[in-house]
Amino acid sequence: MKFEDSDSPKISRRDFLKISGIAAGTLWQSLQRYQHVDAAKFLDSLQPHQENTTFPSPEYISKEVELMVQPKNELEVLLYPISHSYNYKYWQDSQHTIPAEVVSFKMRQAPLSLHNLYKEQDGDRVFSVLPYTMTSNYLPIAVVNCNETKFISKSPTAYESLYTMIEDFYPNKIINILEGLKAIDEFQQAHGGFIPGTEYSMLKILDIPHRSTFVLGKNAANEVVTAGGVCALATAFYRSLALAGGKAIERWEHPSGQKYFCNPYGGAIVSERNSDTTIDLGHDFRFTTNKPIYLKITTEIVSKNLTAAPELGSLEHPNDAFLIASFGMVRDRVAPQRDSLESVKQQYLQYRNGKEFQHSYFVHNSWSPESKQYKIINGIYQEEGVSGFESELRSNELFADLVELRSLVNNFQQKSGETGLGTYLQNTKWYQRQIDRLKKQNNPDELEDFIATIRSTVENQTWLVPGQPLQCVGLSSLIASLHHPLLRAVNIGHYRVNRAAGFIHEEFRNTPIQRMVHPTNGYVMYSTENIEEVVPGSHFILANTDTGHIGMILASKKINGKPSLLCIDSNTSLDGRIHIFKVDENNWDNKFGPYPVKKYFIAPPKNK
């Protein structure tokens, strides 16, 4: 269902940059000064938001804030593991017994971009997300303040853009990235930076065949290659370039599923679909700029306190340190950086030869949904972020029912031999309310469809896999069987399909057409890359794996001028839980299928 635009006041980019005066005074004074709020209002902003008790809201100190800062006093960074669909990676095993770990380390050199400031729920720390950061499926969060000790200061450099790489690469990749950065700096020193209107070739700049300091090593496919790591270098370089207004003339991508990760705060400009970059001797990356710029480079190594990984890397012990490298685009000429890059390289080589690292802090922290680590991430980034749809979730009768259903399902625990979810729901007030409504609608077929869906499709879902009380097909079938006048949908439970991906006919997958009637089942399938063309009441289907996944579009509207969808699904994390969440341009690919895989939808039935 469509809703009117809900634009809210926003701080201008100039005001964002003003806030970067954070180091000139205290953190609190700066925020009060630049956001023009009085003390009472500011203290109120530190309290938990109460307008939506069903879905947690972040405890913002300041939102819509972007800062470019310099670490000081050893800035602690937490890396939270998240899946490619931006759901938390709570568990490393299918039995949900071994929780994934949160990595924490301290850095002190590379400048960073920060996004928003958040207060710890039951402590004295202030956190910020690192939006423009390349990691392996992590959301990086920095501790910027604790007990009035500030771990950041205003960056002394006026950056046009700033993108940071934080990655535990194979040893050969760390060396090759540092060598590649030396080559870029040597090129810009010789040519006076990068000039607008000039076309540049990354292959020519790196000169891989003739630069003897590039080393052999294994890549992610376990193949031994020369100059492994230059793809990561090219990707981070291009992302900073794109943020500064530069353009790619020739760019090649890694295969789907192997692209360099962008976290949920990375923005549409540098999404995986338009910034992943691969180069080799047969595939170049050529680019141009729209302004005269230099690349300002800052790098550091954080050891993982392990024995040295094999020179070529191995699947069992691929790495032994984190490489942190900032790619800053600046207008002013930069001093030669070759020596500082070589120094970092030599420090790393000495560490690999057994010398203890002076700067070494790297910890794996276990966590669970009850842990302090969970409270931090859940206060900053919610899997069920619904910002902008709060009023609809409170006032819309159907949505309120779905929120209640979510609570019933997510609190349902089934033991062997006990009642299944369908039978359980039949004994709830929620179920009786749906029965009463359907009777008033005076359509016996719809009433019968709802009862049958509960008794067959939903009940049977509980027995397929232990710990998954409601799988995705069951939820989508159930919502359609509600036959609610506010949201009509095809009841996919009527069709004999044993996996979500199977709802998309093979002929539709293999043709360029955007709309097609299923030749067997008769429902309408459509595909689009435009979020504004997605119709509420549609099922979305991820068909990039053999099993696939299915969910539903509940509503669409513009939030702060950006098209957004309110969605619902179940069992995304193989736990049988229902999620209600927002999709916009920032997570469009991650939630509905990684580009260039087509995004598939089943259209709602036409109104009778």
Which residue range(s) make up the domain with 29? 13-154
pLDDT, average across residues 159-165: 97
Number of Cβ within 10 Å of residue 97's Cβ equals 8
Q: Are residues 566 and 503 in the same domain?
A: yes
pLDDT, average across residues 366-395: 88
In this model, does residue 64 exceed pLDDT 90?
Answer: no
The residue to which tokens 């700067």 are assigned: 359
Q: Which residue has the higher pLDDT, 258 or 202?
A: 202
Task: For residue range 248-284, list pLDDT tens digits in order.
Answer: 999 999 987 789 999 999 888 898 889 999 999 899 9
In this model, does residue 46 exceed pLDDT 70?
Answer: no
Q: Which residue has the higher pLDDT, 544 or 531?
A: 531
In this model, does residue 97 exceed pLDDT 80?
Answer: no
pLDDT of residue 53: 41
pLDDT, average across residues 493-500: 90
pLDDT of residue 311: 81
Task: For residue range 577-587, list pLDDT tens digits in order.
Answer: 999 999 999 89
- Is residue 372 a part of any domain in this protein? no
Peptide bond into 604 cis (omega under 30): no
Q: Are residues 121 and 196 in the same domain?
A: no
pLDDT of residue 40: 32
Q: Residues 138, 80: contact at Cβ < 8 Å?
A: yes
The pTM of the full predicted model, rounded to 2 decimals, is 0.85
> How far, rounded to the nearest angstrom, does the alpha carbon of residue 421 sit from its chain's CA centroid?
32
b/e per residue 213-222 (b: at least 16 CB within 10 A): ebbebbeeee
- Is residue 147 a part of any domain in this protein? yes
b/e per residue 309-319 (b: at least 16 CB within 10 A): bbebbeeeebb
pLDDT of residue 359: 60
Q: Are residues 94 and 170 in the same domain?
A: no
Q: Which string of DSSP letters, residue by residue, matches 138-152?
A: EEEEEEEEETTEE-E
In this model, does residue 356 exceed pLDDT 90?
Answer: no
pLDDT of residue 181: 98
Q: Are residues 513 and 563 in the same domain?
A: yes
Q: Are residues 97 and 221 in the same domain?
A: no
Q: Which residue has the higher pLDDT, 158 or 36?
A: 158
Q: Are residues 557 and 442 in the same domain?
A: yes
Q: Are residues 429 and 536 in the same domain?
A: yes
The residue to which tokens 């910002």 are assigned: 387
Phi, psi of 531 (to 5 degrees): -60, -30
Q: Which of 50-59, 291-300, 356-365, 504-513 has the lowest mean pLDDT?
A: 50-59
In this model, does residue 43 exceed pLDDT 50?
Answer: no
Sign of CA dihedral 252, 257, 262, 267: positive
Q: Are residues 408 and 340 in the same domain?
A: no
Q: Are residues 64 and 132 in the same domain?
A: yes
Give the separation between CA 536 and CA 592, rounded to whole angstroms.
Answer: 15
Task: For residue range 256-265, list pLDDT tens digits in order.
Answer: 778 999 999 9
- Is residue 376 a part of any domain in this protein? no
Give the separation between CA 125 and CA 60, rounded to whole angstroms.
Answer: 12
pLDDT, average across residues 416-438: 90
Q: Identify the domain boundary among 132, 154, 176.
A: 154
Q: Which residue has the higher pLDDT, 49 or 319?
A: 319
pLDDT of residue 358: 60
- Is residue 368 a part of any domain in this protein? no
Give the separation between CA 475 and CA 405, rounded to whole angstroms.
Answer: 10
DSSP at 578: E
Q: Residues 488, 494: contact at Cβ < 8 Å?
A: no
Look at residues 166, 177, 174, 168 and name the one whose alpha carbon lies nearest to residue 306. Answer: 168
Peptide bond into 596 cis (omega under 30): yes
pLDDT of residue 178: 97
Torsion of CA 393, 589, 603, 514, to 10 degrees: 160
- Is residue 345 a part of any domain in this protein? yes
**Residues above pLDDT 70, as percent of the chain:** 88
Task: For residue range 437-483, list pLDDT tens digits in order.
Answer: 999 999 999 999 999 999 999 988 776 777 788 999 999 999 999 99
SS3 282: coil
In this model, does residue 29 exceed pLDDT 60?
Answer: no
- Is residue 160 a part of any domain in this protein? no
- Is residue 434 a part of any domain in this protein? yes
pLDDT, average across residues 408-425: 83
- Is residue 1 a part of any domain in this protein? no
Give the separation between CA 106 and CA 93, rounded to whole angstroms.
Answer: 28
Q: Identify the domain boundary among 154, 181, 198.
A: 154
Maximum C-alpha span of the chain: 80
Look at residues 272, 291, 287 and name the one whose alpha carbon lies nearest to residue 237. Answer: 287
Number of structural domains (the chain) is 3
Q: Which of 20-29, 351-360, 408-417, 465-474 has the lowest mean pLDDT?
A: 20-29
pLDDT of residue 372: 87
Banded pLDDT at 608 (limits 50, 70, 90): low
Q: Are residues 276 and 341 in the same domain?
A: yes
Q: Identify the domain boundary among 105, 126, 154.
A: 154
The residue to which tokens 């492994």 are assigned: 228
pLDDT, average across residues 10-23: 33
In this model, does residue 28 exceed pLDDT 50?
Answer: no
Residues recorded for the chain: 608
In this model, does residue 51 exceed pLDDT 60?
Answer: no
Q: Which residue has the higher pLDDT, 9 or 263?
A: 263
Banded pLDDT at 510 (limits 50, 70, 90): confident
Q: Are residues 44 and 93 in the same domain?
A: yes
Q: Are residues 320 and 432 in the same domain?
A: no
pLDDT of residue 45: 36
Banded pLDDT at 551 (limits 50, 70, 90): very high
Q: What is the 3-state secondary structure (H, E, C) of 7-47?
A: CCCCCCHHHHHHHHHHHCCCHHHHHHHHHCCCHHHHHHHCC
DSSP at 214: -
